[in-house]
A and B are shown apart, each in its own frame.
Chain A
Amino acid sequence: MGVIRGEEMVLNIGPQHPATHGVLRLQVKTDGEIVSEIKPYIGYLHRCFEKHCENVTYEQVLPFTDRCDYLASMTMNFGYVVAMEELMEIRVNDRVQHIRVVMAELQRIASHLLGLGAFGLDIGAFTPFLHMLRDRERILDLFEMTCGARLLYNYMWIGGLSHDLPVGFVESTYKFLDYFEPKIDEFVNLLVHNKIFVERTADIGVMPQDVAISYGVTGPNLRASGLNWDLRKNDPYSIYNKFDFNIPVGQGGKGTVGDCWDRFYVRVLEMKESIKIVRQALASMPKDGDVHQSLPKKIKPPIGSIYRRTESPRGDLGYYIESDGSNVPYRLKMRSPAFTALSVIDEIAAGWLLSDVLAILGSLDIVLGEIDR
């Protein structure tokens, strides 16, 4: 009798696969359904962001930042302008700051909606995804009202904004928030407490804190691991220190702290906090103030470098800007949160079943545009 020999199979997930959220390739070694090793291959969407930055002027960099994380363009803009304004020592007035915060937080909700929906899709729940996209459309409507674009806005400029708020924006936003707040509970009922969903996500892909820190994982993924770390609180930029909001931290509600379920639920709670911030910002927004007031005529930052981080929906978004005194960046590096989040996948997902790997991938909420840049 011959011995039946098991064999490991190498499986390529992607670059075109419905669960990879874009063009990512995961080379997994599988023994039956169990995945023993995961090698991510990225770069299928490398669009030479940093090369472009070295060849276009500072203000022309903005549209490219939009396209890096296409789910959170506003916050990408925000990070860049915060870094540039710090480098050039520009102070913008209160109205601009308030509008920026409102936009960034609305964008955070929109981004989380899509991220959560796509996660649900990976688990096999198709309908919540579409419900979330439906509500996301309403946020896009608000953005469209403001700057005319649905996805890539180029809205925040260095030293100001491209447009002031349109008439009726504040009312529409309040209307949206009133509509949306109960909807969160609907999502919670549809997915978060769904038995099958909990079975699929609780205790799966646990990311311990030290692993998360060592891999540079930030944002909701890190917070789900139980560490209270949010740049909006820990290193406040813009006017975030003026607002009263909480940082949701993973509690291990259905399993271990730092599992997929926590990563999901932290995002759900974050949407609620964002709503809080938007409400406060709208209420305290100064009525007047020119959004073009501090726009510099020429953008020529002094010689020097700056590394500034802001909190994007996916985590710490850092811009390293090196200026040589001309109007073109000498070097601009983006530290993208999804890049670090993806790198951890082998550590936390090896040893799980194939379905779990895709669930874990979904729970990290990656955007390939930002990973590959």
Chain B
Amino acid sequence: MSPDTEKIIIELVLKALNGDMDSINNLDDRVLRSKAKAALFKAKKDPDAYREKYSKSSIPNDNENNFKNDPITSYVLKGLDGDMDQINAIEDRVLRGKVKAALVKAKKDPKSFKMQVGLKEVKKQTIELDEEKVDIEESINQRIKKLALEKFPQSILNDDVEKFLLVDLKSWSSLSAYLKTEESLFFDSLQCQTGFDLGEGLLEARYNLHSMKHDHYTEIRIQVTKDNPRIPSVEEVWRIADWFERETYDMLGIHFDGHRDMRRILLPDDWEGWPLRKDYDVQETYHGIVIPKMKEGWE
């Protein structure tokens, strides 16, 4: 393999690792394409190591290389990516101040700032944007936790609230009303309510909340035991919970206390059992109609 082709392959593989498969697929040279794909296959086993190994040497793509002569820009970029620690760790106070000022400006329009400094790779940008979004979501969950714990002590049970909030059964009814009415949260829309059979005698209800006003999401989880599956109803907070809770009751047998009309919704009233529990067994007959057992005759 000539050094030239090797370089091309490395370049392509790096691109592919960043999600740009097109450049490999668009190669006209079949041999080169297959080689590149083989290299990519190897590289995918440990992409980070591969990047470490080649990126600095062969491709002048790294930010630090680019902006060595302009420390402020590189710091601002890092700051935009959420890495504030490095900025705070700058010893030179003047430089730190300048960086922070630039960061404030940049944050007003991060995209154009990045465009300006020449980060034109669209794929990478979207990844960064995605990360930004996660940041916001994290912060909203943490904010809810902070606010909720102030008002209702011990209402949030989990420490790591990155993805969801595990809410205590007792405080749910008051917390739900708070989530809806509090101005800074204002979760006015219950997007989805899912019932879960976690196994080991645990049932769970998950609420996906969304605020039309602030456009942020959160997920609430509440766990109950199978022996006493009762959760306070939020039907009066979000009207749609009426049907969602009835459906969860229908499917998993979680009883929602305070619901005005707790009946089965999808299955007939005289149906036996809770179908979505993992240990569900279908009844033999329904009004004289024989229900064939599952997994019989056809597999």
Residue on B with the closest CB to A51? Answer: B275
Which residues in A have their C-beta under 8 angstroms from that of B266?
A: 42-43, 46, 372-373
Which residues in B have their C-beta under 8 angstroms from that of A216?
A: 189-191, 238-240
Interfacial residues of chain A within 269-311, with CB under 8 A of chain B in the complex: 288-290, 293-294, 304-305, 307, 309
Q: Is B194 an interface residue (CB 8 A)?
A: yes
Q: Is B262 an interface residue (CB 8 A)?
A: no
Best-buried of A214, A229, A289 by chain B (most CB within 10 Å) = A214
In the bound assembly, the distance between CA atoms of A372 and B190 in angstroms comes to 19
Contact A215–B276 (Cβ < 8 Å) = no
User: Of the candidates B192, B239, B243, which one forms a contact with A214 in the assembled complex, judged by CB atoms under 8 Å apart?
Assistant: B239
Q: Would you give the 0/1 interface string for B262-299, flagging 1 where the beta carbon is closer than 8 Å to chain A?
A: 00111110000001100000000000000000000000
Tell whether A42 pairs with B192 under 8 Å between CB atoms, given A214-B239, A289-B22, A340-B243: no
Q: Is B206 an interface residue (CB 8 A)?
A: yes
Q: Is B27 an interface residue (CB 8 A)?
A: no
Interfacial residues of chain B within 178-217, with CB under 8 A of chain A in the complex: 188-192, 194-197, 206, 208, 212, 215, 217
Contact A213–B194 (Cβ < 8 Å) = no
Which residues in B have their C-beta under 8 angstroms from that of A335?
A: 191-192, 208
Which residues in B have their C-beta under 8 angstroms from that of A227?
A: 212
Which residues in B have their C-beta under 8 angstroms from that of A339?
A: 243
Which residues in A have their C-beta under 8 angstroms from that of B196?
A: 322, 331
Q: Would you give the 0/1 interface string for A325-369, flagging 1 where the beta carbon is closer than 8 Å to chain B?
A: 000000101010001100110010000000000000000000000
Q: Is B156 an interface residue (CB 8 A)?
A: no
Contact B191–A331 (Cβ < 8 Å) = no
Contact A316–B21 (Cβ < 8 Å) = no
Q: Is A135 an interface residue (CB 8 A)?
A: no
Which residues in A have their C-beta under 8 angstroms from that of B212?
A: 213, 227, 229
In the bound assembly, the distance between CA atoms of A349 and B189 in angstroms comes to 21
Q: Is B219 an interface residue (CB 8 A)?
A: yes
Q: Is A318 an interface residue (CB 8 A)?
A: yes
User: Of the candidates A215, A234, A294, A307, which one forms a contact with B21 in the assembled complex, judged by CB atoms under 8 Å apart?
Assistant: A294
User: Of the candidates B208, B264, B276, which one forms a contact with A307 in the assembled complex, judged by CB atoms under 8 Å apart?
Assistant: B208
Contact B194–A343 (Cβ < 8 Å) = no
Tell whether A307 pairs with B219 under 8 Å between CB atoms, given A213-B189, A289-B22, A318-B208: yes
**Chain A min CB distance to B146 (Å):** 23
In the bound assembly, the distance between CA atoms of A373 and B276 in angstroms comes to 13
Residue on B with the closest CB to A89? Answer: B19
Interfacial residues of chain A within 202-246, with CB under 8 A of chain B in the complex: 210-211, 213-216, 227, 229, 234-235
Q: Is B26 an interface residue (CB 8 A)?
A: yes
User: Of the candidates B163, B189, B242, which one forms a contact with A343 in the assembled complex, judged by CB atoms under 8 Å apart?
Assistant: B242
Contact B191–A214 (Cβ < 8 Å) = no
Contact B25–A43 (Cβ < 8 Å) = no
Q: Is A27 an interface residue (CB 8 A)?
A: no
Best-buried of A46, A50, A94 by chain B (most CB within 10 Å) = A46
**Chain A min CB distance to B223 (Å):** 14
Q: Is B251 an interface residue (CB 8 A)?
A: yes
In the bound assembly, the distance between CA atoms of A235 and B212 in angstroms comes to 11
User: Of the candidates B19, B265, B275, which one forms a contact with A42 in the assembled complex, judged by CB atoms under 8 Å apart?
Assistant: B265
**Chain B min CB distance to A40 (Å):** 9
Interfacial residues of chain A within 85-144, with CB under 8 A of chain B in the complex: 91, 93-94
Contact B268–A43 (Cβ < 8 Å) = yes
Tell whether A54 pairs with B22 under 8 Å between CB atoms, given A43-B267, A216-B238, A234-B215: no
Which residues in A have their C-beta under 8 angstroms from that of B26?
A: 288
User: Of the candidates B163, B208, B276, which one forms a contact with A51 in the assembled complex, judged by CB atoms under 8 Å apart?
Assistant: B276
Residue on B with the closest CB to A43? Answer: B266
Residue on B with the closest CB to A294? Answer: B21
Contact A213–B188 (Cβ < 8 Å) = yes
Which residues in B have their C-beta under 8 angstroms from that of A235?
A: 215
Contact B192–A215 (Cβ < 8 Å) = no
In the bound assembly, the distance between CA atoms of A48 and B21 in angstroms comes to 39
Residue on A with the closest CB to B180? Answer: A214
Contact B240–A54 (Cβ < 8 Å) = no
Which residues in A have their C-beta under 8 angstroms from that of B189?
A: 213-214, 216
User: Of the candidates B194, B215, B267, B275, which one forms a contact with A320 in the assembled complex, judged by CB atoms under 8 Å apart?
Assistant: B194
**Chain A min CB distance to B238 (Å):** 6
**Chain B min CB distance to A264 (Å):** 23
User: Of the candidates B19, B192, B243, which one forms a contact with A318 in the assembled complex, judged by CB atoms under 8 Å apart?
Assistant: B192
Residue on A with the closest CB to B250? Answer: A43
Which residues in B have their C-beta under 8 angstroms from that of A46?
A: 266-267
**Chain B min CB distance to A148 (Å):** 24
Contact A343–B240 (Cβ < 8 Å) = yes
Which residues in A have their C-beta under 8 angstroms from that of B21?
A: 91, 93, 293-294
In the bound assembly, the distance between CA atoms of A335 and B195 in angstroms comes to 12
In the bound assembly, the distance between CA atoms of A163 and B190 in angstroms comes to 37
**Chain A min CB distance to B189 (Å):** 5
Contact B215–A318 (Cβ < 8 Å) = no
24 contacts between A and B (CB under 8 A): A42-B265, A42-B266, A91-B19, A93-B22, A93-B25, A214-B189, A215-B239, A234-B215, A289-B25, A307-B191, A307-B192, A307-B217, A307-B219, A318-B191, A318-B208, A320-B192, A331-B194, A335-B192, A335-B208, A339-B243, A340-B240, A343-B240, A343-B242, A347-B239
19 new A-B contacts at CB < 8 Å, known A213-B189, A322-B196, A331-B194: A43-B264, A46-B267, A48-B275, A54-B276, A211-B239, A215-B239, A216-B189, A216-B239, A288-B26, A290-B25, A294-B21, A307-B208, A307-B219, A320-B192, A333-B192, A335-B192, A335-B208, A343-B242, A344-B239
